[in-house]
Copies of this chain bind each other. A is one copy, B any other.
Amino acid sequence: MRRLIALLERAAAHGCRLVVFPELTLTTFFPRYFLPSPEMAEKYFEREMPNADTQPLFDRARELGVAFVLGYAELTPDQRRFNTVCAVDVDGTIVGSYRKIHLPGHAEDRKMEHQHLEKYYFEVGDVGFPVVTLAGLKVGLATCNDRRWAETYRVLALQGADLVAIGYNTPVSGVPGMNPEPHRMMEEHLLSVRAGAYQNALWVLAAAKSGVEDGQRLIGGSCIVTPGGDVVSRATGDGDELVIGAYDPGVAEPFRAEMFNFSRHRRPEHYQLIVERTGVGEPVVAAIAGGHDD
């Protein structure tokens, strides 16, 4: 809490009105560990928000007039568990929450030192991708692995998001079954957030844990991406770091007016498979056979 408040105060000193903290900010990234039952991870979950531990952050943010987005593990009164983000406006009010939809990894114990057990500890989010108003801006909420799925940004953009706040934790060691060169993970991260920003003409604020957490190195790479897909600000080290940028709504305008003018160019009648199928199936489009004589 002390570290979060210190970053918040530095942000306020730079004139920031909106701060994005990482995914699962309040605890270690415990889905790397297998426990015999998900219930045994109880100590990592928050039963209410704010609570006694986080109230000082809410109070300080309200004093400073800074909105923030905070990731944490949520345990509901009926014992459901989600990988959650709350969006807190400048007056200290929670104006919305998001429960992570694209849970990566696996549900079964793979008997490795570092696993990716989000499907074991969390339910799939049940509230969709929300757009909330923070510091007067329309902010879409998403988390970590959501940033690799194009549907995330599109659903948020179609609701008018001007910025998307994405907290994340990405280990250098990559996904199970792969042993990539470390720079790949950063490249794939930047490719995902840049493409999501560009193809939807919105800003992306991506905030990561960095450094070594409980023996696992994380890629870090927090950054701010413009609606043109350009990284304009980026973390340089692996410690606590403030990455700041000046929000300019004008950057999105030419893209929204022409290239990504959705109402003029999108063709949902040809996108049906995106919602009709989950996995890969056979071709369904009857390609025109032969020449023009048919």
Partner-B contacts on A (CB < 8 A): 47-50, 74, 76-77, 87, 94-99, 101-104, 124-125, 127-132, 138, 141, 145, 148-151, 153-155, 157-160, 175-178, 184, 187-188, 191-192, 194-195, 198-199, 228-229, 254-255, 257-260, 262-268, 270-293
Report the separation of the CA atoms of residues A95 and B285 in the bound assembly, to the nearest whole angstrom: 13
Contact in complex: A228, B98 (CB < 8 Å):
no
Contact in complex: B49, A274 (CB < 8 Å):
no
Closest to A105 in B: B258
- Interface residue from B49, B188, B286 paired with A292 (Cβ < 8 Å): B49
> Which residues from B are CB-within-8-Å of A47?
292
* Contact flag A285-B127 (CB < 8 Å), given A148-B259, A258-B176: yes
Contact in complex: A128, B262 (CB < 8 Å):
no
Contact in complex: A159, B284 (CB < 8 Å):
yes
Contact in complex: B199, A102 (CB < 8 Å):
no
Residue of A125, A274, A276 most packed against chain B (CB within 10 A): A274
> Which residues from B are CB-within-8-Å of A290?
94
